[in-house]
A and B are shown apart, each in its own frame.
Chain A
Amino acid sequence: MEVFLQTLVAGILKGGLYGLIGLGMSLIMGVMGIINLAHGQLMMVAMYITFVLSHYLGIDPYLSLFVSMPALFLLGVVIQKYTLNPLMEVDSILPENQVLMTVGIGMVLTEIARFIFTSDYKSVRTSYSDATFFLGEISFSIALVIAFFIAIGFTLFMFWFLLKTDIGRSIRATAQDKDAALLMGVNSKRITVITFGLGSALVAAAGTVLMPVYYLFPDIGGPFTRKAFVITILGGLGSTVGAIFGGLTLGLAEAFGATYIGMAYDDMIGLLIFILVLLFLPGGFKRLTKI
């Protein structure tokens, strides 16, 4: 029983974080219909920002959210405006050129990080990094619990933002039907730029809250990009609630897979779920929840 409960807790806490990682990707995919294969790399950039602030200026990782998120918002805006948007006008054979572009951007970001910080492992150690509390026999990592609640908070905020604000409504309209939104007077280029910025800022938040419990090196982005698109497909494009459920599902599947099948299989389990969802539940959880 202890094994079961501890696995459940591990899965849920990790799932919350995954949800936050998937949320940004979900927005970008929903609005632009492109897969951002540089998503994990953007997270890596945010993690380096957190590391620098904490290591050189002694700023607490949670406070550095206020720096890493705006910084990544700007980076996202620049990427969208100067590399992805121009591609819309370029005449090319493959519509996937934007996806390939994000691959290139990911490589450039990784290598720039390697240039500056070398391949060394970096980490941020805080007093609460390995603090825990126990409920019965079950241990909870404090940093992961905080990360979980921050993730839930951002999801609720995004939910409200998309539903109630003007920009949010425009984003949803663009996601549903780009041409119709254009006719309704939505500046779709501006919306894509804002969306990419928002998506980047959200993944920055995920990276920053992960920093106290994890570590950092330039190649860290790749695996997280993969997790992000799995979550997005699970949850449904552009769906905030879907992203959280997608994240939780992936987190739980990985944790239970690791406990009852084998740790070596945890990545594979996620990918198999991904293919199954693509085939049998296209549209993801969004189809079931309708939000």
Chain B
Amino acid sequence: MKKFMPLILLIILIIFPLVYQNAYYQHLMILVFIWVAIGSGWNMIAGFTGQVSFGDAAFFGTGAYTAGLLAHHFGISAWWGMAFGGIMAMAVAFPFGWICFRLRGAYFALASLALNEVCRHIATIAEPLTQGMVGILIMPTFVSKIPYYYIALALAVVSVISVQFIMQTKWGYYFLSIREDQDAAESLGIDTHRYKMVSLNIAAFLTGMAGALFMNYMGFIDPEVVFSLHDISIMAILVGIVGGVGTIYGPAVGAFVMVAVHEFFRTGFFGFFKGLAVLTGSDFLNIAAKYISHAHVLGFGILVVLVILYLPNGIVGDWNKLVGKLVPFKKKEAAT
């Protein structure tokens, strides 16, 4: 049963837009898929290799800008960015990793944060190239969401499967050994610098592809959207830790939870509270609805604090613990 869960889920996701033809929910699912790809990338470098990155937006933005600039300057379809975006992100990741992987732990995290900010500034200042804050607008290719839905789904599936595949090869074991104890790995003859580079570049490639898809789908980017420390880099971390650090399906679960939480709060539980307030005519609920829709970031923050405190390995990593807490009588049932 457990083995087939991902497959069943995949089939549901494939059928979903055909059965439920609502562009809004399709839009949300596309966001989820993009976040799955970003989260998988982050999980590769941070979750499996132990090098926490605060600079995913640098790769994401590079991918997005590659797609956007190809379309803007050369009139080439932005879909080419799906191929080149990942490569350009690697072109950023490579020198960065080369130089900064001699830093360890928190210092690497800070360096990646600095990379994020430097990229954002460059994109803002280099107006002739990037148009600065004016941003880049392209007309989306399709009016319907369905093509985007399947492309995004494919990207998400590819990211999850490639992470799963890589983790079964010997690279995967090298990554894990670097995470567990870098010095021990070194003494076993593993070229840690090299394998950290491999991991970072895979992560950058996935994230860059996601960025290019974002450009194609959203049709608009500016430096503060795609190089955002809070909305991309930190969100990527949140997707990773909420879902489960160092698990294959963690980012998928994390992406779904984060997008859902964001949208729940933003719309005040899809007008649930507002509806209740109208039905009962209660002023209190009306005010509560207003506050709730203002509190989506607060919701995130509290979620993060709680997850780190009580589910340090995320929803997937601590699934058994979570179920144990939600279903206290489970043990008894299992016994009978």
Contact among A94, A97, A108, A233 for B50, CB-based, below 8 A: A94
A272-B96 Cα distance, complex, nearest whole Å: 12
Residues 103-137 of B, flagged 1 when their CB comes within 8 A of A and 0 if not, give 10111011101110110011011000000000000
Contacts of B279 in A (CB 8 A): none
Q: Is B47 an interface residue (CB 8 A)?
A: yes
**Given A35-B109, A94-B50, A279-B102, A111 and B298 contact (CB-CB distance below 8 Å):** yes
Q: Is B203 an interface residue (CB 8 A)?
A: no
Contact among A87, A115, A268 for B295, CB-based, below 8 A: A115
Residue of B nearest to A105 (CB): B305
A110-B304 Cα distance, complex, nearest whole Å: 14
Interface majority SS (helix, strand, loop, mixed), chain B: helix
**Given A83-B305, A107-B297, A115-B295, A268 and B118 contact (CB-CB distance below 8 Å):** yes
Instruction: Please tell me the number of chain B residues within 8 Å of chain A, measured between CB atoms.
Output: 46
Q: Are B301 and A104 in contact (CB under 8 A)?
A: yes
Q: Is B99 an interface residue (CB 8 A)?
A: yes
Residue of A nearest to B307 (CB): A104
A262-B124 Cα distance, complex, nearest whole Å: 13
Q: Are A95 and B241 in contact (CB under 8 A)?
A: no
A105-B301 Cα distance, complex, nearest whole Å: 7
Q: Is A2 an interface residue (CB 8 A)?
A: no
Contact among B47, B102, B125, B302 for A93, CB-based, below 8 A: B47
Contacts of A96 in B (CB 8 A): 52, 105-106, 109
Residue of B nearest to A230 (CB): B114
Residues 267-291 of A, flagged 1 when their CB comes within 8 A of B and 0 if not, give 1100110110011001000000000
Residue of A nearest to B303 (CB): A104
Q: Is B300 an interface residue (CB 8 A)?
A: yes
**Given A83-B309, A268-B121, A271-B118, A278 and B103 contact (CB-CB distance below 8 Å):** yes
Q: Are B106 and A97 in contact (CB under 8 A)?
A: no
Contact among A103, A114, A282 for B237, CB-based, below 8 A: A103
Instruction: Scan residues 208-237 of chain A and give those whose CB is less than 8 A from a CB of chain B.
Output: 222, 226, 229-230, 233
A192 to chain B, nearest CB (A): 16
Contact among A35, A93, A112, A267 for B245, CB-based, below 8 A: A93
A233-B107 Cα distance, complex, nearest whole Å: 9
A110-B103 Cα distance, complex, nearest whole Å: 30
Residues 217-248 of B, flagged 1 when their CB comes within 8 A of A and 0 if not, give 00000000000011000100100010001100
Q: Is B291 an interface residue (CB 8 A)?
A: yes
B54 to chain A, nearest CB (A): 8
Residue of B nearest to A229 (CB): B110
Q: Are B230 and A222 in contact (CB under 8 A)?
A: yes
Q: Are B230 and A271 in contact (CB under 8 A)?
A: no
A95-B246 Cα distance, complex, nearest whole Å: 13
Contact among A87, A99, A106 for B309, CB-based, below 8 A: A87
Instruction: Please tell me the number of chain A residues within 8 Å of chain B, measured between CB atoms.
Output: 45
A-B contact count (CB 8 A): 129
Contacts of A272 in B (CB 8 A): 118
A96-B122 Cα distance, complex, nearest whole Å: 29
Instruction: Scan residues 39-76 of chain A and give those whose CB is less than 8 A from a CB of chain B.
Output: none
Q: Are B305 and A104 in contact (CB under 8 A)?
A: yes
A34-B110 Cα distance, complex, nearest whole Å: 11
Instruction: Scan residues 275-315 of chain B and give those whose CB is less than 8 A from a CB of chain A.
Output: 291, 294-295, 297-298, 300-302, 304-305, 308-309, 312-313
**Given A108-B305, A268-B118, A279-B100, A90 and B110 contact (CB-CB distance below 8 Å):** no
Q: Are A278 and B313 in contact (CB under 8 A)?
A: no
Contact among A33, A108, A226 for B106, CB-based, below 8 A: A33
Q: Is B266 an interface residue (CB 8 A)?
A: no
Contacts of A97 in B (CB 8 A): 241, 308, 312
Q: Are A92 and B245 in contact (CB under 8 A)?
A: yes
A92-B109 Cα distance, complex, nearest whole Å: 18
**Given A93-B179, A101-B308, A115-B291, A275 and B237 contact (CB-CB distance below 8 Å):** no
Q: Are A92 and B312 in contact (CB under 8 A)?
A: yes
Contacts of A282 in B (CB 8 A): 103, 107
A103-B125 Cα distance, complex, nearest whole Å: 28
Query: What are 23 contact pairs spanning A and B, CB under 8 A?
Result: A86-B309, A91-B312, A92-B245, A92-B313, A93-B179, A93-B246, A94-B241, A96-B109, A99-B52, A100-B237, A100-B304, A103-B237, A103-B304, A104-B302, A226-B113, A265-B121, A265-B125, A268-B125, A274-B110, A274-B114, A278-B100, A278-B103, A279-B102
Counting from the closest, the 5 A-B pairs by CB-CB distance are A107-B301, A104-B304, A92-B312, A111-B298, A108-B301
* 8 additional A-B residue pairs with CB within 8 Å, beyond A91-B312, A264-B125: A87-B312, A93-B313, A94-B52, A94-B245, A101-B309, A111-B298, A226-B113, A278-B111
